[in-house]
Structures are given as structure tokens and as C-alpha cells.
Amino acid sequence: MTDRPELQKDANGLLPGEAQHGIPDFLDRHTERPLAAAGLTSYRYRGRYGFVMIGARDDADALSEAKRSTTDVVIANLERWDGNQYAPVQASPPTWVLPWQK
């Protein structure tokens, strides 16, 4: 226990200014809006320590960019900006083209 009130945790074990997921509120606000450069789609990847913000051409490009920040990349942690909010990216089933279908 500390006598500095700014370092005392509340009943939920959070420091003042922390959101429920442990990311300080002032950082969390930046991950709730699109940040990609013009011509790219805004993505965010939930990593071990918070969101990794990504600007990419498509889902595959976003996953490849996420691999630059973390080693264990799964599509379930990737979200795409849909114009209003970030929405989970759904894994699309593989499209197989069999030799006789060409």
C-alpha cells in the first residue's frame, strides 16, 4: 500500500485512469478510431500488451504486418475498421480449384 493516491488501486485492482482491460484510458482512445494512411484500410491486432494499429491493403497484408510485432498471429485477433467501428475479421474458407474445374 502506498500513501500516494495516484498509485493506489481501486476495488477492481486498477490504477486511476485504467480501463477494465488494463490499458490506460488515454491510450485506449487512440485505438478506437482509424489511423491508417490514405489509401489503406485501418486494422488493429490485439497483441499481448494491447492493440497494434495497422494500415494495410487487405486482410492478408494486415496479418503479415501483425507478424512484425508479435510471433503468434491468429486471424481471430484481427479487427477491420468498417466505417463506424472495428469489427472482427472472419476467416474465409479456402477456395479450392480442382483440375477438372478449370
pLDDT tens sequence for the chain (102 residues): 556 665 667 676 666 655 555 555 555 566 777 888 899 999 999 988 888 999 999 999 999 999 999 888 999 999 999 988 999 998 877 667 667 766
**The three cell numbers locating residue 78:** 484481427
Contact of 66 with 73, CB cutoff 8 Å: yes
The neighbour count for residue 8, using CB atoms within 10 Å, is: 11
DSSP conformation class of 47: E
Q: What is the pLDDT of residue 21?
A: 54
Q: pTM of this prediction?
A: 0.64
The neighbour count for residue 97, using CB atoms within 10 Å, is: 7
Distance of alpha carbon 17 from the chain centroid: 20
> Which sequence spans correspond to the domains of the chain?
5-90
